[in-house]
Amino acid sequence: MDARTLRDIFGQFASGVTVITCRNADGEPHGATVTAFTSISLEPALCQVTLTRKSKACGFLSDAPFAVNILGADQVDTAMHFAGRPQVPGPVWADGPTAPLLCGAATTLSCTPWAQYDGGDHIIFIGEIVDVTTSNDDPLLFYRSKFHNLGSSSTGSAWNGSMDDPHSGWFDATTSFTPLHLMAGQPA
């Protein structure tokens, strides 16, 4: 399978858009737009970012603190800026607990290095989350090589009324059940 086909297949999975920020070799703030981000663990609090080996940011993250800036739906310009298409005006930076932060991000996770793994043409960085800030803004999404936003909610509950909804549908300790084979002779 060629790389373009595989990229298109991976693009079928909608993902959030982040900018990974750190300091470069001169101590200046540096960032890279990254969609390969995921949560890993709650205890300890760990997340993963995956960067192509060819990126400048990849060279700065080895054993270095970083921040994951989850972009808001209105931050397409910021995503483009850190994807190699500089925007004017540029980003507004703030000092963070571990690494420089981007002002205006929907959520920022400040991380210390936890582990690093070979990921083929990428390197997988695991960070321990030591601080979080959030605005509760809707996230920016990337799907089929285009930016998107969530749009309006389809329901008030993620479980959409399912009886498996852990907030309202699980059976409590007083619930009893009659096996179906015993109910066969009962009227409906």
Which pLDDT score, from 0 to 100, does residue 64 have?
Answer: 95
Least confident of 5-14, 101-110, 131-140, 150-159: 150-159
Three-class DSSP labels, the chain: CCHHHHHHHHCCCCEECEEEEEECCCCCEEEEEECCEEEEECCCCEEEEEEECCCHHHHHHCCCCEEEEECECCCHHHHHHCCCCCCCCCCCEECCCCCCEECCCCEEEEEEEEEEEEECCEEEEEEEEEEEEECCCCEEEEECCEEEECCCCCCCCCCCCCCCCCCCCCCCCCCCCCCHHHHCCCCC
pTM of the shown model: 0.77
Which CATH number fits the domain that encloses residue 130? 2.30.110.10
In a domain, residue 42? The reply is yes
Q: Residue 8's domain spans which residues?
A: 3-151
In a domain, residue 82? The reply is yes
In a domain, residue 176? The reply is no
Number of structural domains the chain divides into: 1
Which pLDDT score, from 0 to 100, does residue 148 have?
Answer: 74
Residue 72: pLDDT above 60? yes
Mean pLDDT of the chain: 85
